[in-house]
Chain A
Amino acid sequence: MNPKSQLIESTLQKWKASWAKAKLVWSPFLRLQEPIWCTTSKAAAQEGLTGSFAMIRLTDHRIVIDLEKVVDENVIDFSVEILAHEIGHHIYTPANLHDNAILMGRIRWALPEIENRAAMVANIYEDILINDKLQRFHDLNMADIYKTLNKKNKPSVFWTLIMRSFEYLWRTKRGALANDLSLHNKSIDADAALIASLIRSYSKNWLDGAGRFAVMLYPYLVDQKQFDKDRKKILVLLDSEKAGLNSPATSGLTELDIEGIEGVIDMRSESLKGDDNLSTATGLGHNLLGGQGPRNIYMPPGSYIDLMKQVNPNANEQKLINAYYKEIALPHLIDFPTEVSQSNSYLLPEGLETWNIGDSMEDLDWVETAIHAPYIIPGMNTVKRTYGKDSDEDMEEKPLDVYIGIDCSGSMVNPKTRFSWPVLAATIIGLSALRAGADVMACLSGEPGKFMETNGFINDEKKLLSTITSYLGTGYAYGIERLRKPFGQQNDKKSHAIIVTDNDIFSMLDSKTPTKQSHWELIEIALENAGGSGTIVLHSSAHYENPKVKRLQAMGWILHYVTNEEELLQFAADFSELNYTTN
């Protein structure tokens, strides 16, 4: 064993022994798993730790320590301080994924155009809060960690600001931590004093101080080249920047954080008397704060994705957009309409149908599946037994399936970048249907051009939302031809059909078809075969193309007019009420 390996081994023993003491700093009742001790930086990198000697993971509540880096940075003697600091991230700030995401969101508001630096700013803010607590109230020697790190690092202006803030907090002599006096100036002094005051004032309600803190740092982060240099220097301190890596999408973050936005205040102006225009938050969108969607209270989907990807850089964009529309739809979910039909006192086995992955496991008929094919591919050749009616006079309610066709032509907005009302309405109806036990088929169509649809009527929420929240942007209207697949032939199970489109649907109805059957004939047959109600939601005024409207109404289609997109939300709620309020 070489001397460095020996040193790492002895450091490991020492740090392991310090773990209990570090926990005791916070609470004798604290239960937290022992850190993952990595004796090489390579092993630490595999755990996701690079740049610093320690990090936290909020997803599994772990701490990772890179002992090789501990030795390299000569911080061996600060085992209790560093471990207590990491514990502080778990139990004080950010403490959990939700607060971590809120903190990130608040800081993003304070960093217009440089939002990508929010994770670093959040990490520094948390560090100052934790270290101040440990130094002032728990008598740990956090200052000496910085003194040790200072020996290796040539300080920058940004580093000097942070160190000066500690000097104000801990009332040390000038230069005790910010050791390059040539970088000191009155402006840094003033900013550092304000940061120190902020840290003291918001140590308990630290989320409320995040906006102010980020604004204090803003001028120091704007210059890209300088930022790149500063970041390299400060990298060794960044231990919670990736705390939310691989976390699932945190719920409750689609709404604009008004409290957070109002806290984006420049303390420099705040401390000057008579300056009333304090808020520096910038807004993008319909109102000053950029709210979109129902009551303009939601952040734009693009901003939501940016925030969530900053919390978890590995997040899947499609999953995020699904979560976004689902969360907004949740308060509006309806009891899905039901059909009154005779129920069965005895069920008799009849035929077989494909067992899909979303179906219940106990429905899967293994014997019949095995008879059909020697190799079992779930969803492809797996089957389930269907049961037929006996006779009974009892009544039971059974939900109808629903087909949702959405015009996704060029005039539609991309639901990933801006809030889309048709997508919200489809999400509300689709999720309500699934909740009630019905299957849903969704189809996006922008024709002539492209279309995208689910594989028939499905009960898989992920697949459904992924289809609804996709974007085509081709053609001019919903393609009537898309009704052929679900309703070209009569179905055993009745369905509702909803088409969300605009006046261009009439041009589509009149357009030529590759078959002898006209679009008018197809749409009529489709409604008959659907068996349930048929609704065309038209973004139009009520009298447009009146004769053609009457022709559709004569077929049995209900035309629902919306003149602005917000009415689509009302439609989604009214859909059940108007037709099926009996359940």
Chain B
Amino acid sequence: MAQVYDLCFHLRKCPPIFLQDSLLQNEDGIDTSAILTDLFRSVSGRFLEVDFNLPKRRQLENQKANYLKSLHIACWLFSHPYFIGRNSLVPKIHEFLFNDLKPICDIVEFEKWIEDEERTEEMVRTGLFACEIQPTGESIDEAIDKLSAISTIDRQEILKKSSQAMKRMMEIRKKMAEKKAQEAANPYGRE
């Protein structure tokens, strides 16, 4: 069991250095590979381990900057003492970082993970879900429902539909209003 709000609090306190570009894309940036390796060493407890099946440098280089910065932020999340030394979580965190997180980063800008309360909670809940950890005080159904309710990917589909419907509705109303305005207009045309 993990306290969602503890983890959210921890995530929001992410040091600014984690928000920098990756060294892979900017020579003034921070070393993404080093952060990842450090994370997996801490989580696994295997400090002499070198290979955690991390993506190759070239693979990471080709990733979008937003994703790489989000990756740094996620590493900060999993640096919370709750995850440290839990070797069984390594493959799950691996899956989260390199598969689950990527599509969300196409939509969510990296700053939002820290600045927007709901996005913070989404990263925490998605991370816990990936690790198969049940949040404290919540049933499994409740936890799934809460994650689903804030899921960016789920919401995008719904919003696309409702946004289109709204646009159509506004367009019709706009035309009606313009027609009404034209009818009401009686320009000061002197004979």
Could you list which residues of chain A lie within 8 angstroms of chain B, going by C-beta atoms? 112-113, 168, 173-174, 186-187, 189-191, 193, 196-197, 200, 215, 218-219, 222, 266, 268-269, 271-273, 275, 280, 282, 284-285, 290, 302, 411-414, 417-418, 420-421, 476, 502-504, 539-540, 565
Report the minimum CB–CB distance from A534 to chain B (whole Å): 21
Contact A187 B158 (CB under 8 A): yes
**What are 14 A-B contacts defined by CB distance under 8 Å?**
A186-B154, A189-B149, A190-B162, A193-B155, A218-B166, A218-B169, A219-B169, A268-B162, A271-B159, A272-B159, A280-B170, A502-B190, A504-B191, A539-B188
A502 to B188, CA, bound (A): 11
A191 to B169, CA, bound (A): 16
Contact B163 A112 (CB under 8 A): no
Contact A540 B166 (CB under 8 A): no
A290 to B181, CA, bound (A): 10
- Chain B residues with Cβ under 8 A from A215's Cβ? 166
Identify the stretch in B17-25, B47-55, B77-85, B172-180 within 8 Å (CB) of chain A at 4 or more residues.
B172-180
A190 to B169, CA, bound (A): 19
Closest to B160 in A: A272
A219 to B158, CA, bound (A): 14
Contact B188 A112 (CB under 8 A): no
- With most chain A CB atoms within 10 A of its CB, the pick from B116, B160, B165, B166 is B166
B185 at the A/B interface (Cβ < 8 Å)?
yes
With known contacts A113-B176, A418-B186, A539-B190, A268–B166 Cβ distance under 8 A? yes
Contact B184 A266 (CB under 8 A): no
Contact A284 B177 (CB under 8 A): yes
B contact patch SS: helix
B13 at the A/B interface (Cβ < 8 Å)?
no
Kindly count the residue-residue contacts between A and B in the assembled complex, taking CB atoms under 8 Å apart: 107
A187 to B176, CA, bound (A): 27
With known contacts A113-B173, A219-B166, A174–B188 Cβ distance under 8 A? no
A539 to B117, CA, bound (A): 62
Report the minimum CB–CB distance from A226 to chain B (whole Å): 14
Report the minimum CB–CB distance from B40 to chain A (whole Å): 31
- Chain B residues with Cβ under 8 A from A222's Cβ? 169
With known contacts A112-B173, A282-B174, A266–B190 Cβ distance under 8 A? no
A411 to B176, CA, bound (A): 26
Contact A413 B170 (CB under 8 A): no
A412 to B185, CA, bound (A): 11
A186 to B165, CA, bound (A): 15
- Chain A residues with Cβ under 8 A from B156's Cβ? 272
Partner of A273 from the list B107, B166, B191 (CB cut-off 8 Å) is B107
